Amino acid sequence: MKIEIKITKKPVEYTKAIKFLEHRIDKIHKNRASELIWLLEHPSIYTAGSGYNERDVLDKSINLYKTNRGGKITYHGPGQVIFYFAINLNKRNRDIRNLLNKIENTIIETFKSFKINARADKNNIGIWVKHNKKPKKVAAIGIRVKKWVAYHGFAINVSTDLNKYKKIIPCGINDKGIINLNSIKKQSYITLKEKLVENFLKNLQN
């Protein structure tokens, strides 16, 4: 199955990206467009998924955008790789848990190529590393499925300003931390996007 791959270098407003995705999934469902993988970055924004709680907002002055993805509250901004997709599960396996496993494996395998060990957590969605003997989240996952077309995706902190997370309880988890790749291992991540695409395509086929 042909999948269009877009890598946008200039930051894209969150609302514009979501509108584009929603328009795309409608076209995919009608067989008028191919599936999509879209990598980009957002300007600073806090977004709240369908499962968020008002108590997760620690700084009431922040602008919070309520979105239709799954999950709770998170931050998007400079230094973060956003990996969106629009994947037609009608032509694949209609199994959301299976898709989630493929996403988790994609991120974990990609990190391995940078000599970083990471893991999924069945109780706390996302990808985690152990840093200074404490579990810290480095990638957030949030998906939505409409008429069996899955969209939204995941976000990886590369050089994200971690102070931004002090204004919220990220993903509703207050006993664990947030980290970025530069804090785990200072090295070049210039090939990160290409490796993510490569691994995601491979996992989709399995």
Q: Which residues are catalytic?
A: 171
Q: How many CB atoms lie within 10 A of CB 141?
A: 23
Q: How many CB atoms lie within 10 A of CB 202?
A: 13
> Long-range contact list for 12-16, CB < 8 A, 24+ apart?
12/40, 12/41, 12/42, 13/42, 13/43, 14/42, 14/43, 14/45, 14/47, 14/65, 14/67, 14/76, 15/65
